[in-house]
Amino acid sequence: MDAEQKILGMTIPALVLSCAAGHPAILAAPAPFSPKNERMASIMLKKYHIQGKKIIENGEAESEVWVYSNPDENERKYLVNELKLDEHTFASALDPDELSRLESEPDHTAIIIKTPKNYSAADQFVFKVASAGLFLFHKRLVIVMAEDIPIFIGKPFATLDDIHEILLKMIYNSIIHFREHLKVINMISDEIEKKINISMENKYLINMFTLEKSLVYYLNAVNSNGFVLERLKLLGERLGFSQKNKELLDDIIIENGQCYRQAEINSNILASLMDARVSIVSNNLNILMKTLAAITIFLMVPTLIVSIFSMNVLFPGRDNPHAFWVILGLAIASLGGVLYWYKTRKTFK
């Protein structure tokens, strides 16, 4: 997390990292670029099969779940021409600016959802969102994503019955991902706020503005996912959802609503207190200027006395052997007088 340390001049607390460790996709360092890595990313196709209520990668053509990560041109043509995916909808699955939606096609249902994008140190406190496409066929689920991240991990995927449950738990996993990111954002904002209380610079305010912008992205994404969940509830019977799937969908809708309210509260807190934080930084700068002005006044009177006796003119007592100590005593006495005046008048209090 070197980038954050440079920005904040501090180490992000272990508490933040431990929170992120609960979901491996939260904090991820970008892989070093190389032509080999680029080729591997462009041909990333994984096939999974449900066996014994577990999802297992097997690579067979008849697998129920196909996951495409950053598909290349040939894979795009196959998905559009052979599987009859709508070209615009397919492009939406890779477009981070696309909103969530559900579209019914003759032989499948296309669902675009929003997910938090992997966070890396290079992002410098900008938490972004990405899109993912879930294309539900009669006996197959095709997942299209822009980056290769582990998706079938954690407690939600401990037991699985069918592809409908996988689809719903994909959305649920995204909600968990959002909530973990919100915890990290909240903890980072607390650390930045501590720095702002003693800071006289704008960089911490800029970091706070960046977090506030990230929360706006998250609010829009979570709200957009909520519309998709409501449409799934309406189309549950037609899509072949079992009673268990319907109950799971109801739970996911509640979780998404709670996630939205949490993001909304965090966003409102950051926005409402931003003016106060700006005032704190300005006040800290005023205190510094006041201190410097006081020091200048304290030194001005003794300097004036010493300067008078340093002029190249004759003055009484010039040849007195104790003249130096007399001048020094007058300077100290003047400094004491200024300090007494400061404490009694409280001009700078």
For the chain, the structural domain boundaries read: 2-283, 284-345
Nearest to 46 by CA among 154, 143, 178, 168: 143
Residue by residue, pLDDT tens for the chain (349 residues) are: 444 444 344 444 444 444 444 444 444 434 443 444 434 434 478 888 888 888 888 877 678 899 998 888 888 888 888 888 988 998 999 988 888 999 988 889 999 999 998 777 666 778 889 999 999 998 899 999 988 888 888 888 888 888 899 999 999 999 999 999 999 888 888 888 787 767 666 777 778 888 888 899 999 999 999 999 999 999 888 888 889 999 999 999 999 999 999 999 988 888 777 666 666 666 667 777 777 777 787 788 788 777 777 776 666 666 677 777 877 887 888 888 877 777 776 544 5
Model pLDDT, residue 210: 85
Model pLDDT, residue 318: 66
The bridge status of strand 65-69 relative to strand 141-145 is: parallel
* Exposure letters 5-31 (e unless 16+ CB within 10 A, then b): eebbeeebeeebeebbeebebbbbeee
Taking the domain 2-283, which CATH number applies?
A: 3.30.460.20
Model pLDDT, residue 226: 92
Model pLDDT, residue 314: 66
Model pLDDT, residue 138: 86
Q: Residue 301 and residue 304: Cα distance in Å, rounded?
A: 5
Q: Which amino acid is at 340?
A: Y
- Beta-bridge partner residues of 48: 57, 65
Cβ count within 10 A of residue 266 = 21
Model pLDDT, residue 114: 92
Helix (H, G, I), strand (E, B) or coil at 122: helix
